[in-house]
Amino acid sequence: MTAGVRLPLAEPTAKPAYRSDRGADRFMRRVFGVHGIDRRSGSGAHRAFRISVVASGVRCLITYLLIPVLVPILSLGGWVVAPIGLALCVLAVVNGIVSVRRFWRADHPHRWMYTAFMAVVFVILAIALVSDLTRLGIMT
């Protein structure tokens, strides 16, 4: 073999060996666009999860702790509070989706538990979004 000459890599012919190939697992992989296993994605999934939870926590602190105290003091209305809540909700949802997708790409053993947890978080965020949109007068 001559130095500097590279042989082409063989294309994988077998499907990736997922932890489970049940119908529900195949459906979720299709929903998240997962076509292969990326074990390195697990650490990124945990980081995205932490960001999502922190964003949700910050939103709750602002909405349920700071705003009830600051609004009467500063005479601020919903027109200040709602955009902050909307931005934090969107950030939490985006990071939540990214982290769920990464859990599935990594074929993480707790992907179903995490997906269920994030579904509950998404329901709470949806209620918060409706509340903020109502506060802005967009929804009635």
The closest alpha carbon to 119, from 91, 97, 95, belongs to: 97
Q: Given the structure tokens 């979720």, which residue do they identify? A: 28
pTM over 0.75: no
The proportion of the chain whose per-residue pLDDT surpasses 90, expressed as a percent, equals: 12
Q: What phi and psi values does residue 11 have, to the nearest 5 degrees?
A: -75, 135
Per-residue pLDDT reduced to its tens digit, 54-111: 877 787 787 777 766 766 665 555 566 677 778 888 888 888 888 888 889 888 888 9
| Three-state DSSP class for residue 95 | helix
Exposed, middle or buried by CB within 10 Å (0-12, 13-18, 19+), for 122?
middle
The rounded Cα 80 to chain-centroid distance in angstroms is 26
- Domains of the chain by residue range: 37-136
CB contact at 8 A, 26 and 49 = no
What is the Cα gyration radius of the chain?
Answer: 21
Report the distance separating Cα 124 and Cα 102, nearest Å: 22
What confidence score (pLDDT) does residue 31 get? 92
